[in-house]
Amino acid sequence: MNLYTKYHGMIEVEKEDFIFFEHGIPGFVEEKHFILLPLEKDSPFFIMQSKITPELGFVVVNPFLFFTDYEFELSENDKDILKINNEEEVGVFAILTVKDPFAETTANLQAPVIINHKRNIAKQIILHETYKTRHKIIQKDKVK
Cα(1)–Cα(87) distance, integer angstroms:
31
| C-beta of residue 61 within 8 angstroms of C-beta of residue 46 | yes
- Average pLDDT, consecutive stretches of 10 residues, N- to C-terminus, the chain (144 residues): 94 97 94 96 96 96 96 94 93 96 94 97 91 89 48
Domains, the chain, in order of start with CATH, read 2-139 (2.30.290.10)
What was the pLDDT predicted at 128?
A: 81
pTM above 0.75, yes or no: yes
Cβ proximity of 117 and 91 under 8 Å: yes
Query: Rounded to an integer, what distance in angstroms lies between the CA atom of residue 37 and that of residue 81?
Result: 24
Q: What is the pLDDT of residue 126?
A: 94
Dihedrals phi, psi of 13, to nearest 5 degrees: -135, 160
